[in-house]
Amino acid sequence: MSGIPRIKVNNYHTFYYQYEFSLLDALEAQNIPAPYSCRGGYCGCCKVKLIEGQVDYIQESLVDLKEDEILTCCCRPQSHIEIELPDD
Amino acid sequence: MSYSTFSPSNHDATREPMFFGRSVNVARYDKQKYPIFEKLIEKQLSFFWRPEEVDLTNDRKDFMDMPEHEKHIFLSNLKYQTLLDSVQGRSPNVAFLPVVSLPELETWFETWAFSETIHSRSYTHIIRNIVTEPSEVFDHIVTNPEIIKRAEAVTRLYDEFIQLVNIYGVHGAGVHMIDGERYDATLYNLKKRLYLTLVSVNVLEAIRFYVSFACSFAFAERALMEGNAKIIKLIARDEALHLTGTQHMLNLMAAGADDPDFKQIAAECEEQVYAIFREAAEQEKDWAEYLFSEGSMIGLNARILGDYVEYITNVRMKALGLTEIFPQRQNPLPWMNGWLVSDNVQVAPQEAEISSYLVGQIDNEVDTDDFDGFDL
C-alpha cells in the first residue's frame, strides 16, 4: 500500500487518516460519533465491522470478535479501509 | 468423582473441555486451549493497584459537609458494593475451581477473585477514612432489608451450584437421595446449573455494579468525593475486564465446540437467561428508587438512573447475542464514559496509573535503521 490510508465510514464521510493514535481517535477527530467506553480493548463497545482493507494492531483486543469485526480503539488503518458503525 | 489436587495422569489438557473434564494437574501455560484467558490474566496483573495509593483526606471533609440524603446515597452504595465484592472475592474460586479442566482458565478464576479482594479492602479504606465508627456501616450490610433482598438474588445460583458440586464430589454423578431430599447431580444438570450461575455472575458484574458506579462518578462530576471516585474508577476498570472473561466463557459454551452439551443447555435455558437479566434490571431500578427515597442529588435521580439501568442491560444482552428487552435509547449518562476509559495515553508511568503499563517490559529489538534519525 502506498500513500495515506483512506477511511470510508457508512452514513458518514470518507476521509484521510491523519496518523492519530488509533482508528477510534481518527473517527473522533472527524467528529464521527463512534461508540467507545474503556479504550483498552476489553469492553467491546467500540466494535465495528471491517468491510474492506487491513488494520494494524496497536493494542490487544480481549473481546470475543467475529472474523470481520475490529475494535477501533485497538487498531489503525494499514491500507484504505471501509468500516460499518453499528446502528444504535 | 472426587476432586484431586494433583493427579499423576498425563493427559493433554488442551483436549479437555473448559469444565467437568479431568481435573487440572500441572499448572502449565506453554500449551493453551484458549489463550484469551492468559491474555486476560496478563491484563489483570498489569492493572494491579492498592487502595492506599489513593488519598482520601478531602473526601472526609466532603462527606461531613454533605446533606443527610446524599450521605444516605453514598453509604448505601458503598454497602451494596461491599456485599457484591464479598461474594465475588470467594465464590468464583469455591464454585468453579473444583470443576475446571484447563490450567489457563483455572488461573484466570484465581486472578479474577484475587482482584475482587482488593476491591473489598478498598471499601474498608474508604469507610475508615470517612466515618469514625466503621462498624456502623459494615454491621448494617447484613441487616438492611433492601440489601438482603438483593443478596439473595446474587447468591442463590452460586449456592445451589456449590451444593450440587459438593454432592457430586462425594457421591459421584447421578441422582441422589440425601436426608429425604432429592438432588440431581447428573453431569447434564450440573452443567446447566453452571451455565446459569455464570449468567448470574455476568449480570452481577455487568449491571448490578453500574448503579453504584454512576452515583460515585456523579458526585465526582461535582468535584465531591474525588478520592472515592478514583478508587471506583480502578474498580470499574477491573470489573469491565472480568465481564469480558465471563462473556468469553458464555459465548464459548453457547457455540458448542468446547462441549456440545452446553450448546443444547444454552438453547434450553434461554428463557431463564432472559429472566435473570430482567430480574436484575428490575431490582436495580428498585434500588435506585431506594437510593433517592430521601431526596435526589444534582445531576441524578431515580428516573435517569433507571433509564441507565435499561440502557446498560440492553448493551450487555447484545454482547451475548440476546435480544434487548428494553426500548432502544441513547446512553442517558454520556459523561460516564469519561470515567470508564482506561488510560492508554503514553505518559510517564510514575505520573499516573496506566492500565497498559507492564512492569519489566522492555523492547529488546534493535535494528540498524533504528539509528537512521541520529546525526553526529
- Please count the other Cβ atoms lying within 10 Å of the Cβ belonging to residue B220: 21
| Distance between A79 CA and the closest CA of chain B, angstroms | 23
> Could B241 and A63 be called an inter-chain contact, meaning their C-beta atoms sit closer than 8 Å?
no
> What is the average per-residue pLDDT within A52-57?
95
- Please count the other Cβ atoms lying within 10 Å of the Cβ belonging to residue B242: 26
Instruction: Say yes or no: A42 contacts chain B, CB-CB below 8 A.
Output: yes
pLDDT at A27 > cutoff 90: yes
Q: What is the pLDDT of residue B345?
A: 43
Instruction: Say yes or no: B257 contacts chain A, CB-CB below 8 A.
Output: no
Instruction: Say yes or no: B316 contacts chain A, CB-CB below 8 A.
Output: no
CB burial readout A10-45, b (16+ within 10 A) else e: eebeeeebeeeebbbbbbeebebebbbbbbbbbbbb
Q: What is the pLDDT of residue A54?
A: 95
Report CA dihedral (B90, B100, B185, B279) to the nearest 10 degrees: 50
B290 is catalytic: no
* Cα(B212)–Cα(A27) distance, integer angstroms: 31
φ, ψ of residue A83 to 5 degrees: the values are -125, 160
Instruction: Say yes or no: A16 contacts chain B, CB-CB below 8 A.
Output: no
Q: What is the pLDDT of residue B374?
A: 82
Q: What is the pLDDT of residue B368?
A: 81
Nearest CB partner across the interface for A39, out of B244, B328, B342: B342
From B123, B158, B168, B311, the catalytic residue: B123
Q: Do B38 and B116 contact (CB within 8 A), yes or no?
A: no
Mean pLDDT, chain A, integer: 92
* Cα(A47)–Cα(A35) distance, integer angstroms: 8
**Residues of B whose CB is below 8 A from A42:** 40, 43, 240-241, 244, 342
How many residue contacts between A and B have a Cβ separation below 8 Å? 55
Contacts of residue B29, defined as CB under 8 A and 6 or more positions apart, other chains included, come to: B38, B103, B104, B107
> Could B244 and A63 be called an inter-chain contact, meaning their C-beta atoms sit closer than 8 Å?
yes
With cell 477510534, the residue in question is A24
* Cα(B108)–Cα(B36) distance, integer angstroms: 10
Q: What is the pLDDT of residue A87?
A: 77
> Could B341 and A21 be called an inter-chain contact, meaning their C-beta atoms sit closer than 8 Å?
no
Helix (H, G, I), strand (E, B) or coil at B221: helix
ipTM exceeding the 0.90 mark? no
> What is the average per-residue pLDDT within A33-60?
92
Q: What is the pLDDT of residue B299?
A: 86
Q: Which pLDDT tens digits describe chain B residue by residue (376 residues)?
A: 678 889 889 999 999 999 999 999 999 999 999 999 999 999 999 899 999 989 999 999 999 999 999 999 999 999 999 999 999 999 999 999 999 999 999 999 999 999 999 999 999 999 999 999 999 999 999 999 999 988 899 999 999 999 999 999 999 999 999 999 999 999 999 999 999 999 999 999 999 999 999 999 999 999 999 999 999 999 999 999 999 999 999 999 999 999 999 999 999 999 999 999 999 999 999 999 999 999 999 889 999 999 999 999 999 998 888 999 999 988 999 899 889 887 654 445 444 445 455 555 567 778 888 888 888 7
**Residues of A whose CB is below 8 A from B315:** 45
Q: Which residue of B has its CA nearest to A25?
A: B345
Q: Which residue of A has its CA nearest to B239?
A: A43
> Could A62 and B39 be called an inter-chain contact, meaning their C-beta atoms sit closer than 8 Å?
yes
Q: Nearest-CA neighbor of B125 among B222, B202, B56? A: B56
Instruction: Say yes or no: B251 contacts chain A, CB-CB below 8 A.
Output: yes
> Could A40 and B251 be called an inter-chain contact, meaning their C-beta atoms sit closer than 8 Å?
no
DSSP per-residue codes, A38-87 = -SSSSS-TTEEEEEES-EEESS---S---TTEEEGGGEEESS-EEEE---
Total residue count of chain B as it appears in this document: 376
